[in-house]
Amino acid sequence: MVAPRAQWNSKLGFILAGAGAAVGLGNLWKFPYIAGENGGGVFILAYLACVVFIGLPLMAGEIIIGRATQKSPVGAIQALTHKGSFWVSFGWLTIAAAASLLSYYSVIAGWAMYYAFMSVTGELTAAGTVYEDVFNATQASGATNLFWHAAFMALTIAVVLGGVSKGLDRWSRILMPALLIMLSGLVVHSLFLEGFGRGFEFGIGIRPDEFRATSMLAAVGQAFFSLSIGMGTMLTYGSYLKRDDDIMGASIQICALDTVVALMGCLVIFPIIFTYPELEPGQGPGLLFASIPTGMAQMPFAGLLLTVFFFLLVFAALTSAISLLEVPVSFLIDRFGWTRKKAAVVAGGAIFLYGVPSALSGIEGGLFSGFIWQLDGIVSNYMFPLSGIGLSLFVGWRMPDTLRHDHFLSGSKFKVFYKAWLTLLRFVVPVGIAVVFLNAIGVV
Ligand code: PHE
């Protein structure tokens, strides 16, 4: 006998878990510097348009595939087509993409865990600490990286082991509000910093001359990454959603929360950077792991600030990581009838091993030198767009209309938008993503 599909405890559980998947390292590290470098407020407007016209329709589409079939990506697309159909390859692609992303996401989250640990022990605020050096040493140490990568994966597996209701739902309900409280606290703190005005101006001020052609592409790519679409996570989460919950309504709330957190991220980060002339709103993870600690360490209550900041990062990363692990786990359970325990341990263990080259990639001149950023390039520039195009075309053109229509309308306050949604999904979403993709591979 097939066990009934697991379900979220409530619609709120789904929204918090979905927002947990979306809110991650991307909001706090990628969004602020991308916005800052691409014209600030103009970029934010472009980004909002991408969220509304590309991200939101596809998110709802992914959730619809999941709920309509009650299956994880491969089984879901198979159920709507047939075994061996071309479309099923997009299901496989999402699993490969989720596993690839998690393999190195866990290494970066491991740094956050290590920093959180050092902020609790007081090591991070020791006098004379040079944070650039700490970060360089962290990246260059294979043992440190492997240890924290393992610790973070173990934590992720532990949550996923609990299942949908007692693992994903319960932990999202705890971690997401905690994250919002910590983030709000940091925003209030940043409001009183000397660099607030300059930081605000840099992140949010409108500077149209700095908005280039590539900025639009950066906006689409960031919207994808940040909203967690094209990875099968929203599809899988949708497969646990009750029949009459409003999918469009939930998607709007998830997109809104994710965007608000990204904007709050800017409000925290830039005032800190601009309070100290020696810091730069530079690119990449150094912003979080070197510049921010350098600034915070010079402030009153430095220990508390650093602790809150790094726990915030760990919480944000954890709720994203569990959604990524759930994709292969759900597949193994559906396909092979494995127990959740076996599926979580095997998939989590395999992804840990997959992450080893990333964990060792900071060793100068080593075998895997730079691997983590190459993998990030493959995932962000190829896997995300390809599966995004596939999934949008699938929902838009191939999925049976009655099913699509039914699930869009069921319990929804947004029934009148069905036509608009379908048009976006059929044309705007795939074309928008294709432009990004072609650009990434150098065609346009
Ligand atoms: N949205 C997450 C972030 O912003 C990353 C992510 C992508 C997580 C896809 C799950 C699936 O960090």
Q: How far is CA 93 from CA 50, 225, 302, 322, 432, in A?
A: 23, 16, 44, 18, 20
Sort 130 into a burial class: Cβ within 10 Å, 0-12 / 13-18 / 19+.
exposed
Question: 3-state DSSP call for residue 29?
Answer: helix
Confidence of residue 2 (pLDDT cuts 50, 70, 90): low
Ligand 1 midpoint to CA 1 (Å): 35
**What pLDDT score was predicted for residue 374?**
95
Ligand 1 midpoint to CA 130 (Å): 30
Which atom of ligand 1 approaches the CA of 320 most closely? Answer: 8
Distance CA 154, CA 182 (A): 24
Each as own residue / partner, the long-range contacts of residues 333-341 (CB below 8 Å, 24 or more positions apart, any chain) are: 333/72, 334/71, 334/72, 334/75, 335/74, 335/75, 340/160, 340/161, 340/163, 341/161
Instruction: Supply the pTM of this predicted model.
Output: 0.96
Average pLDDT over residues 133-158: 97
Q: Are 15 and 250 in contact (CB under 8 A)?
A: yes
* pLDDT-wise least confident of 70-74, 110-114, 186-190, 201-205: 201-205
Out of 228, 326, 327, mutate this one to test ligand 1's pocket (max ligand atoms within 8 Å of CB): namely 228
Ligand 1 midpoint to CA 413 (Å): 27
**CA 100 centroid distance within chain:** 13
Tokens 């599966």 belong to: 387
Q: Are 280 and 291 in contact (CB under 8 A)?
A: yes
What tokens does 126 get?
Answer: 């020791």
Tens digits of residue pLDDT in 358-400: 999 999 888 999 999 999 999 988 899 999 999 999 999 999 9
Which atom of ligand 1 approaches the CA of 98 most closely? Answer: 11
Average pLDDT over residues 171-179: 97
Q: How many CB atoms lie within 10 A of CB 174?
A: 12
- Residues near 136 by beta carbon (within 8 Å), at least 6 away in sequence: none
Ligand 1 midpoint to CA 323 (Å): 9
Ligand 1 midpoint to CA 315 (Å): 13
Q: How far is CA 140 from CA 121, 137, 203, 358, 362, in A?
A: 22, 5, 31, 11, 5
**What pLDDT score was predicted for residue 1?**
47
Confidence of residue 29 (pLDDT cuts 50, 70, 90): confident
Residue ranges lining ligand 1, Cβ < 6 Å = 21-22, 24-27, 101, 225-226, 228, 231, 233, 320, 323-324
What tokens does 129 get?
Answer: 């600490």
Whether residue 214 has pLDDT greater than 70: yes
Out of 28, 31, 320, mutate this one to test ligand 1's pocket (max ligand atoms within 8 Å of CB): namely 320
Distance CA 423, CA 113 (A): 43
Ligand 1 midpoint to CA 319 (Å): 9
Ligand 1 midpoint to CA 377 (Å): 14
Average pLDDT over residues 430-444: 84
Distance CA 32, CA 20 (A): 19
Which atom of ligand 1 approaches the CA of 384 most closely? Answer: 9
**What pLDDT score was predicted for residue 83?**
87
Average pLDDT over residues 233-256: 97
**What pLDDT score was predicted for residue 306?**
97
Nearest CA to ligand 1 atom 7: 228
Three-state SS annotation for 263-322: HHHHHHHHHHHHHCCCCCCCCCCHHHHHHHHHHHCCCCCHHHHHHHHHHHHHHHHHHHHH
Ligand 1 midpoint to CA 344 (Å): 19
- Residues near 174 by beta carbon (within 8 Å), at least 6 away in sequence: none
- Residues near 39 by beta carbon (within 8 Å), at least 6 away in sequence: 206, 207, 208, 209, 210, 211, 212, 215
Ligand 1 midpoint to CA 227 (Å): 6
**What pLDDT score was predicted for residue 151?**
98
Nearest CA to ligand 1 atom 11: 228
* pLDDT-wise least confident of 11-25, 100-114, 326-340, 359-373: 359-373
Distance CA 173, CA 155 (A): 16
Out of 101, 225, 313, mutate this one to test ligand 1's pocket (max ligand atoms within 8 Å of CB): namely 225
Confidence of residue 296 (pLDDT cuts 50, 70, 90): very high
Distance CA 127, CA 198 (A): 28
Helix (H) or strand (E) holding 348: helix 340-354
Question: 3-state DSSP call for residue 40?
Answer: strand
Nearest CA to ligand 1 atom 6: 228
Which atom of ligand 1 approaches the CA of 228 most closely? Answer: 9
